Amino acid sequence: MNEPDVIRLDIEPARFGHNFVGSEAFSALFQEGMELVEETAAYLDGPGREESRHLKREASVAYASESMRLTTRLMQVASWLLLQRAVAEGEITPDQAQAEKARVRLNSHETSTTLVDYEALPLRLRELIGLATRLHARILHLERLLMEAVEEAPLQPQGENPVALQLGMLQRAFAPAE
């Protein structure tokens, strides 16, 4: 391959999203997200259910509210991760993924739980909320990066690459006579 082949503008730019979802970093993120979903489900169905029975009324309401918010956040994260994996594995196209993203709302979740009620929640629930919140923030950041990369990618080349033109002229000027 010679330099003009590498410098041409008609080559599609590298896309962050496509590279990322096929990377080891995405695999690790996917694994982390799915493990957190399983861990949370196991807690809420087992020890969390038992712990919630021993809470005072205000804390019990906060527990129900925060566990529902936690579950919703993790389902959104899991949906996003599964959608990205489907694109990476070629099960759906990036355009289909964009259409599906309208259903996967990665919005932030404001809490109305007071600090006093939050601190009355079981420690393990607070730990899971913290882990899910951080994971959700990372996913939101990645989604912004993916969307910026899509928006910034030029649809059509703007013209010929001036460097490639100059290299071509030099090659013709110094090429051996035929």
Report pLDDT digits (tens) over 67-105. Answer: 999 999 999 999 999 999 998 888 988 788 888 877 777
Q: What fold, for 14-174?
A: Helicase, Ruva Protein; domain 3 (1.10.8)
pTM above 0.75, yes or no: no
DSSP secondary structure string, 159-173? S--HHHHHHHHHHHH
Q: pLDDT, tens digit, for every residue of 133-158?
A: 999 999 998 888 877 765 655 544 55
CA 33 to chain centre: 10
Stretch 147-174: mean pLDDT, rounded? 67
Phi first, then psi, for residue 14 (nearest 5°) are -65, 135
Average of pLDDT values for 26-40?
Answer: 96
Percent of the chain's residues with pLDDT above 90: 47
